[in-house]
Amino acid sequence: MLPVRPGEPGKSPFWNGHARRFINVPSFDFQPVSEAVKYRFTAISDANCKYYTFEADKPWALLSPIWKDLPIGIVYLKVEGLDENENILGVAGERQFYRAASYNGPYSKPVMDYISSANKNLHLLFGQKHFQRWITENTPDSGYRLYCYPSKIIGAVIEGMVMYSGLSAENKETALLIARNAAKYLISISQPAGTPLDFFPPTYVDWNNAPSVAGKRKDQIMLFYPAIAGSAYLDLYDATKEKEFLKAAVRIADTYARIQLPSGSWPLIVNLKTGEPTQEDLCVPTDIIVFLDRLVTVYGMKKYHQNSEKAFTWIMENPIKTFHWQGQFEDVGFSHNYSNMERGKPLAFAKLLMSRSKDDPHSLEMAEELIRFAEDQFIVWERPLPREMFRTPNRPIPVRAYLTDKWLTPCALEQYHYYTPIDASAISAISAFHKAYEVTGKELYLAKAYSLANNMTVAQNLGGGIYPTNMSTAYMKQELAEYWVGWINCATMSARAILHLGNLQAEKEKF
């Protein structure tokens, strides 16, 4: 019954114009009807064909009087303006949406313990043909098409193999060799010194069999991805103490400091040669803040504190106020006016807020609201929205991703433009719930993290052992091919969060 940043004309923007489903009670941007003195809200549930009505003095009122009574399912809502005699003067607005299920766990049990699960995932990645190539070669294997996104994917190779080296005594040195060679290659293809984006590794390369977007944008960089590569270099430095990797990370940080905008953020995507933005959008710079904060707190490089603070302030002054959590992914187009919201950036910022909550209690309130937003819009505990909710004039028959009866729940959806369950989406929620439990002590947060993690092990088992990118049986194969087709950055993120959760669980079981 807690609303998520409800809209109110002139005070708070309506962010949910493109939302398809709600767990928390919503309000909508419906317009006043001339001479109306009140408004009748009529909701029809497709689940039971019943009508639910109430009256309010504003057309954008919360649906609180009927929300707890609406069953899970499609709802058709109409709001009509009335005069003093209950005559209908006009329609303020109409809307169809899905009343989604709230958490009612626990759900499935884990197939294996979390630490074993993370280890198995990393071991199988280690055995992939394109990982093994890094042992003897200093260039990526063309058989894995997603190397067209070097910062993200090669950064994940580094991160994953450093993590695996800490879990496998037998394969430790080989895993570190893979990480070293991958890192050296990524450094070698980064922008030269003296160029507008010097030392930044590329977001795109024109690669064999790559998605067309990589070729189209090969002369551009999406500016939060170098921070992801920089964080991987720091992982490798921590494991090897080889200073070339710390130096590579610091050079990336120096470029961020040099090109940061006065506003505190950075352009979202820029031209490699000129350093000029290719469109007006700015980064939601959570990844950059995490990278710079690590240099400050772990390595004592306090000079980056001001850059991190400026970026933090930009988020507070922009998406925290507008609640526009724009989907920012290298393989999709750009969006405006709340048309493509995502869950990753708000959950990442919630974690940053919670890290500051001891000094600022209001930060915890904002963080919990962001978690509610992500759960409301993107976490599917059970009974996913039906496939018919994805039909559009341009897509009368939804694609395979929207075979919602094949989704493995509980799960989490990625973004409005690809509103389908992805392992990394669940992981971002698990990580935020984990952090919220540590900060608040609320067991419900931990229960939610466990429920999503348990299902990750189920999907892992069904998918052959590596965490499947698409949490749907429509995509899963029991046997692993020598070139697994999933996104290794997602599988690596998943291993890290599942491993951390396993360590927490092990600590709790000691007492």
pLDDT value of residue 480: 87
How far does Cα 451 stand from its chain's mean position?
Answer: 18
Rounded Cα–Cα distance for residues 321 and 15 (Å)? 11
Q: Is 332:418 a contact under the CB 8 Å cutoff?
A: yes
Structure pTM? 0.96
Query: With contact defined as beta carbons under 8 Å apart, do 188 and 244 qualify?
Result: no
CA–CA separation, 457 vs 446, rounded Å?
Answer: 17
Contact 302, 377 (CB under 8 A): no
**Kind of pairing between the strands at 411-415 and 220-222:** unpaired
Alpha helices in 137-242 (DSSP H): 150-165, 172-188, 212-216, 225-240
Model pLDDT, residue 440: 95
* H helix intervals, 195-285: 212-216, 225-240, 243-259
Backbone phi, psi, residue 422, to 5°: -125, 140
Q: Give dist(CA 447, CA 301) in Å, integer.
A: 37
In the prediction, which pLDDT does 273 show?
93
Cβ neighbours around 3 below 10 Å, total? 18
Q: How far is CA 136 from CA 151, 171, 176, 179, 190, in A?
A: 21, 15, 13, 12, 21
Q: How far apart are the first and last CA of the chain?
A: 35
Tell me phi and psi for residue 223, to 5 degrees.
Answer: -80, -5
Beta pairing, strands 418-421 & 411-415? antiparallel
User: Cα 200 to chain center, whole Å?
Assistant: 23
How far, in Å, CA of 94 to CA of 42, rounded?
A: 10
Per-residue pLDDT tens digits of the chain, which is 511 residues long: 999 999 999 999 999 999 999 999 999 999 999 999 999 999 999 999 999 999 999 999 999 999 999 999 999 999 999 999 999 999 999 999 999 999 999 999 999 999 999 999 999 999 999 999 999 999 999 999 999 999 999 999 999 999 999 999 999 999 999 999 999 999 999 999 999 999 999 999 998 788 888 889 999 999 999 999 999 999 999 999 999 999 999 999 999 999 999 999 999 999 999 999 999 999 999 999 999 999 999 999 999 999 999 999 999 999 999 999 999 999 887 888 999 999 999 999 999 999 988 878 899 999 999 999 999 999 999 999 999 999 888 878 778 899 999 999 999 999 999 999 999 999 999 999 999 999 999 999 999 999 999 999 999 999 999 999 999 999 988 788 889 999 999 999 999 999 999 999 999 888 7
Q: What span, in angstroms and rounded, lies between the C-alpha atoms of 236 and 221?
A: 23
Q: Token match 């280690």: residue? A: 126
Maximum Cα–Cα distance across the chain:
83
Q: How much is the pLDDT for 481?
A: 87
C-alpha 200/C-alpha 223 separation (Å) is 9
Per-residue pLDDT at 484: 92
Burial 370-393 (b: 16+ CB within 10 A, else e): bbbbbbbbbbbbeebbeeebbeee
- Domains of the chain (ranges, CATH numbers): 21-99 (2.60.40), 102-140+341-511 (no CATH), 150-330 (1.50.10.10)
Question: Residue type for 97, please?
Answer: F
